[in-house]
């Protein structure tokens, strides 16, 4: 008596492969962007899996970085080559910089607020104003741009330092080689 046929074995094998690939496709949601990259380097089948699902995997990674809402991530993607490139910009440039940076005496204007632009990170100095009895709720805040880091289509970064001179506002181009995630000084 024959227990299985060729057709049953083939169906069983295809079923197992489907479950394994579905399981492996869910794994990147629990990994950091660098871990997803390292996972793709483990073997050819994992590389093929990450490559085949690249846009979905890296879109999920962009969401996991948690610096932009999904609607803006999708909007930014139209101006950048891939979600992988966008994820690298979000994780390596935006995430370490976003927030309020204070240097020594904030009352004198040593406060910089770093926020997302469009395909960029913008740092603005908060200039102190005369506050009333209700503090900041009563008066306006004056901003002055300090720097901007812009992502290119290919993921390259451009750095611009804003300043003032005798001729008015000036822009000084520069470069970004890396942002130390544990840095506490801009």
- pLDDT tens string 16-65: 556 666 666 677 778 888 888 887 888 787 788 777 778 888 898 899 99
CA atoms within a 13 Å half-sphere pointing along the CA-CB vector of 81: 10
Domain range summary for the chain, segments of one domain joined by +: 6-65, 94-174
Highest-scoring range by mean pLDDT, 76-90, 105-119, 168-182: 76-90
In angstroms, what CA-CA distances link 122 with 46, 74, 92, 125, 128? 37, 20, 15, 10, 19
pLDDT of residue 180: 72
Q: Nearest-5° angle of CA 39, CA 42, CA 45?
A: 90
Query: Beta strand 99-102 with 157-165: parallel, antiparallel or unpaired?
Result: unpaired
pLDDT at 2: 47
Residue 149 burial (CB < 10 Å; 0-12/13-18/19+)?
buried
């Amino acid at each position: 008596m024959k227990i299985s046929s060729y057709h049953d074995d083939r169906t069983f094998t295809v079923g197992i492969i489907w479950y394994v690939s579905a399981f492996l496709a869910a794994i990147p949601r629990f990994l950091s962007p660098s871990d997803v990259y390292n996972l793709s380097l483990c073997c050819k089948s994992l590389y093929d899996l990450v490559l085949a699902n690249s846009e979905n995997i890296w879109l999920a990674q962009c969401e996991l970085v948690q610096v932009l809402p999904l609607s803006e991530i999708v909007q930014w993607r139209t101006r950048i080559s891939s979600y992988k490139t966008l994820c690298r910009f979000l994780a390596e440039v935006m995430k370490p910089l976003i927030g309020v940076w204070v240097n020594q005496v904030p009352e004198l204007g040593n406060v910089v607020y770093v926020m997302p632009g469009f395909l960029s990170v913008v740092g603005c100095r908060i200039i102190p104003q005369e506050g009333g009895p209700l503090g900041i709720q009563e008066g306006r805040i004056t901003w002055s741009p300090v720097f901007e880091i812009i992502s290119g289509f290919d993921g390259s970064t451009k750095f611009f330092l804003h300043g003032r001179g005798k001729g008015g506002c000036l822009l000084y181009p520069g470069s970004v080689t890396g942002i130390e995630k544990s840095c506490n000084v801009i």
